[in-house]
Amino acid sequence: MPAYEKTYTALWADMDPNGHMRHSAYTDYAAHTRLEYLSEAGFTMKYFTEHQLGPILFREDTRFLREVRLGESITVSSEVAGLNADGSRWRIIHTIRKPDGVVAATVTVDGAWLDLQRRKLTVPPAELAAAMTAAARHESYQDIVKEAK
């Protein structure tokens, strides 16, 4: 399966005083792309509200490789780079490319599903776990295995 992708135009609000895209805009586009994938797979904000479920992040790592400037087009891809056996934890890598295909940045996030009533980590409903399992896999994919204590 090919990576899920969305294309955006870098906006004035995305720029920093140096004339290139500010650091947090990269993670904003990555987050939006993740949520668009879920929404298009049927997991809208309404779904999450009804199931009292939400994604949370433990780690977000951005590697900046090339500048993105005002008005420049970027394509953001999302690929699953790790899942645990029950689908409760995941790693997603977003690759942000310039129009010529050059990688401008990568954003790696480690996350899980949170039961919003209990405020505890939870196993997602089977259909959500299946959507994550069906998502495109990054070339670095590795199962997430709980470390022994």
C-alpha span between 8 and 114 (Å, rounded): 29
Q: Which helix (H) or strand (E) covers residue 60, if one does?
A: strand 53-64
The tokens 């997991």 sit on which residue?
43
- Of the candidates 26, 51, 42, 37, which has an alpha carbon nearest to the alpha carbon of residue 4? 37
**Across residues 101-114, what is the average pLDDT?**
98
User: Please, which pLDDT band fits residue 1 given cuts at 50, 70 and 90?
Assistant: confident
**pTM of the prediction?**
0.94
In a domain, 108, yes or no: yes
User: Please, which pLDDT band fits residue 87 given cuts at 50, 70 and 90?
Assistant: very high
CA angle 124, 79, 24 (to 5 degrees): 95
Domain region containing 23: 4-134
In a domain, 139, yes or no: no
In a domain, 146, yes or no: no
Look at the chain and report how many structural domains it folds into.
Answer: 1
**At residue 9, does pLDDT exceed 70?**
yes
User: Please, which pLDDT band fits residue 146 given cuts at 50, 70 and 90?
Assistant: confident
In a domain, 144, yes or no: no
Q: What is the pLDDT of residue 148?
A: 60
Q: What is the pLDDT of residue 147?
A: 72
In a domain, 145, yes or no: no
Q: Which amino acid is at 44?
A: T
The answer to whether 103 and 94 are in contact (CB under 8 A) is no
CATH number at residue 41: 3.10.129.10
Give buried/exposed letters for 106-134 (b at 16+ CB in 10 A, else e): bbbbbbbbbeeeeeeebbbeeebbebbee
The answer to whether 77 and 4 are in contact (CB under 8 A) is yes
